Amino acid sequence: MQPPHWQRAYIGIGANLDDPESGVRRAIDSLRCLTDVKLVKCSSLYRTAPVGYLDQPDFVNAVVELETALEPHTLLAQLHSIERQFGRKRTWRNAPRTLDLDLLLYGDRQMKSENLTLPHPRMAERAFVLVPLTEIAPEVMVGGAGTASELLQAVSTEDVERLDDTGSNSTGDLHRSGVV
């Protein structure tokens, strides 16, 4: 039997219900416990305004870099299992959630299937993904669109705020412009 081939993968993490900062931190711990997954880097936590459906609490977001021997669909299934453990209910697009784990990138793989598109669709347009991704991997390529840091230059970051170690900041709720 050949040893597994390890791939670099990036996971977007977000939550805005039931103590989202704690939920994001616990989700990171859950990712550390997956078989055939090694946590490489973790971004800071960021408070971000909601996108799409705006009448909901702000989100807490982060991105982690993993090395994994799991194939993309298997990794996605593991991410969905963690979401369910956190009480995630898939109601409607952009709905409030206890936890959202998105497979953003898997090596340089580009694919589209019924339940998985790589790179993650719309990630190149979303500051709540690009800001934490750029913090830990500024030169990672996002499909053929450019590096994370190049893509970040093209989006508004006014609704993204880094949280300090206590999860607080100095400005309170973020402006809800819907731009992010």
Catalytic residue among 88, 93, 109, 122: 88
Cα separation values, 37 from 19, 24, 93, Å:
26, 18, 28
- The DSSP 8-state label assigned to residue 164 in this structure reads -
Determine whether 88 is an active site residue.
yes
Annotation says 25 is catalytic: no
DSSP SS3 for 42 = strand
Q: Which of 97, 109, 126, 165 is catalytic?
A: 97
E strands, the chain, are: 7-15, 37-42, 46-48, 59-68, 100-106, 111-112, 117-118, 160-162
Q: Are 99 and 62 in contact (CB under 8 A)?
A: no
Look up 84 and say whether it is catalytic: no
Q: Which of 36, 102, 109, 176 is catalytic?
A: 102
Catalytic residue, candidates 47, 100, 126, 159: 100
Side-chain-side CA neighbours of residue 4 (13 Å):
11
Which of 3, 36, 2, 30 has its CA nearest to residue 15?
30
97 is annotated as an active-site residue: yes
Catalytic residues: 88, 97, 100, 102
